[in-house]
Amino acid sequence: MVAAGLAPDLDGLSLLGGVESYGRWHHLLFHGAVGAAVTAAACAALGRSRAKVAALAVVAFHLHLLCDLAGSGPGWPLWYFWPFDRTEWMWGGQWDLASWQNTAIGLGATLLCLLSALVVRRTAVELFSPRADAAVTAAVRRRFLRRERGGGSVEAS
C-alpha cells in the first residue's frame, strides 16, 4: 500500500523535462481518477486478495490526494477527472509544503512508526524485507527500552 500512496507522484517525473514541464504536468497526469484506477489495477494484479488489495490501494491513493489538497501549497490544484474534465479541485485553506502542519504530521507519523516497532514489533520495512524489519525493530527496541540498573543497561522485555 506504500506504493499506492506514492503512486500519484509518478507525474513528478515530469521534472526530468525541466521546471516548466514539472509545473505544468505535476498534479495533472496521475493525481486523479485515471491514476487511481491504474494504481488499483496494478496493485490488485500483484496481490493475493485482489479485491481487498485494490480497495486498500484506492484508499492509500486518495489519502495522498487529500494530503496534497491540504498541504502541498496554496494555489496548486488537482484536476481529478483529467483528461475528461479540466475542472480544478482546490481548497482555500491549503498550507505551504514547508509548514508547521506538515512538520507536526511528519513527527506524528514518525512517532507512530516507532511505537509500532516497540509494541507490535513490525515496521514498514517489512514490505521490503522481513529480515531487515526484524533488525530495525530490534535496534529500535534496544534503543528505547533500556533501563538503567546498577551502572549497566538491560533491555526490557
Domain ranges of the chain: 1-95, 99-150
Average pLDDT over residues 93-118: 93
Averaged pLDDT score across all residues of the chain: 89
pLDDT higher than 50, residue 20? yes
pLDDT computed for residue 52 by the predictor: 95
* CB distance 118 to 95 below 8 Å: no
**Is 0.85 topped by the overall pTM?**
no
Omega before residue 83 within 30° of 0, cis: yes
Using DSSP's 3-state secondary structure scheme, residue 91 falls into: coil
